[in-house]
Amino acid sequence: MELKLYNTLTRKKAPFVPIDANNVRMYACGPTVYDFAHIGNARPVIVFDVLYRLLRHIYGVGHVKYVRNITDVDDKINARAAEEYPDLELNAAVAEVTAKTTKQFHEDIAALGVLPPDVEPTCTSHIPQMVEMIKVLIAKGNAYEAEGHVLLDTASVPDYGSLSGRSLDEMIAGARVEVAPYKRNPSDSVMWKPSDDSLPGWPSPWGRGRPGWHIECSAMAKEHLGEVFDIHGGGIDLTFPHHENELAQSRCAHDTDVMANVWMHNGFLQVEGDKMSKSLGNFVTINELLADWPGEVLRYNMLRSHYRQPIDWTVKGLEESAKTLAGFYGGEDFSKAEKSFAPPVLEALSDDMNTPAVMTALHQLAHSDDRPALVSSLRALGFAGDLTDPRASGVDEAAIQQRIDQRLAARAAKDFAEADRIRDELAAQGIALKDGPEGTTWELVR
RNA sequence: GGCUGGGUAGCAAAAGGUCACUGCGCCGGAGUGCAUAUCCGGAAAUCCAGGUUCAAGUCCUGGCCCAGCCUCCA
């Protein structure tokens, strides 16, 4: 089965041909670790996890290398560190913030069924590689030093703007921000900036400073995947300026036509129809959602939409996802099921990761009563069959079971008034009883 | 203003050609002491205008509307 992927570089869907089928390489931009990851951050993590699983299925587990970085140098981190740990020396405070946030990120996404990448490089451990690349870019005339900064000379890059589809001219015309006076062109991006003693910094030929945002991914990708690799992914908002600058730097430094052959971008996420923003008060973190919903429900809900489409994240959608998954699982023990994609599932995934079509295929498997194919496909997609309600941790299950038994006894004695009274009493506690052929079960109402 | 995507039933979400997929919701029936669960059946949609094609929801052009980017926010 041929894998087709949509490539932002060409704006077309095309068959995926790896550079080396024995070593398929992909890079995805990871989080800046200064705060809890929100559900929008979870989207690329889940989407590229599915791609990783698919590539491992096609090319073999040992033949795919997935790199997802941690950005642990950033002025937002510095600000957060100063705010949260005013008594600590800044570097120590920064280390606290990045360590704590990284740990939280790992816990949150593990609950979403996400596999760890093969390499998770941090910015702070790749400073020498960045400095080296900047030196090369200066030597080649693609970067210049100005007032302690080093900037990418975007005018020196022949087809700068080709990824995002914009020209230098229109960017200058449309610029709405005040341009720093030391920039030759408004679009020139900072690769290195000076740090005073109050900020984290590293020695460099241009003085003590810290890297700009884009150079980190150029340097880390080179370090772990080489000069040219197969797939680069991230959120659509990163297309410009982040990826545009990143690939310009890498191509100039390495004299290559491309940095990655295929560039993939996931669409944005809205919450209940609105843009997610702190000012609207609808900023929702993965961690908060995990207090109310099984992680697998969040994962399923994310994959119901095609990754390039915008997704409207709603409670109603989560309820539907929970109901659908419960129907798929049917109390089955997933632990000893194998992981493999059933043909119709693989076919849907191979068409530019058409996960909505995957869902249709799963429903058809469910209707066909082919339980093994359904369960193994779900496992291969990263679902472990665990719908434990996180809200149930404070519930006294034994007491509920006792009331259920009492109600069953009342029903057996045809004391329906008492039976209904018990059912109403539990309902008032948010517990819904479900009588079925196998007996009575209960669940927490939403 | 420029660039890039998207507009399919009440909601979500597929598809160049059969009775146009699927789920939730809704309606009817079966089911239970009743209510759930569960099962059976049903109603319901392609933003507008051109074009290409034997055939367009799908491809192309324009319009309208929505979103993202141009503000180191995934």
pLDDT one-digit tens code per residue, A192-224: 999 988 889 999 999 999 999 899 999 999 999
Q: How confident is the model at residue A179 (pLDDT cuts 50, 70, 90)?
A: low
A316 touches strand B (CB under 7 A): yes
Q: How far is CA A153 from CA A55, A156, A196, A207, A436, in A?
A: 36, 6, 25, 20, 70
Mean pLDDT along residues A98-114: 95
Top-confidence residue, A169 or A355? A355
Residue A297's pLDDT is 92
CA to C1' distance (Å), from A12 to B61? 19
Contact A298, A43 (CB under 8 A): no
Taking 70 as the threshold, does the pLDDT of residue A172 lie above it? no
Residue A174's pLDDT is 45
Percentage of residues of chain A with pLDDT beyond 70: 96
Taking 50 as the threshold, does the pLDDT of residue A176 lie above it? no
| Mean residue pLDDT across chain A | 89
**SS3 state at A8:** coil
Q: Is the dihedral of CA A99, A103, A108, A112 positive or negative?
A: positive
Which residues from 10-29 of A have any strand B atom under 7 Å from their CB?
11, 29
A237 touches strand B (CB under 7 A): yes
Instruction: Return the closest nucleotide (C1') to the Cα of A161.
Output: B3
Contact A52, A64 (CB under 8 A): yes
Sorted by where each starts, the structural domains of chain A and their CATH numbers stand as 4-269 (3.40.50.620), 293-380 (1.20.120), 395-444 (no CATH)
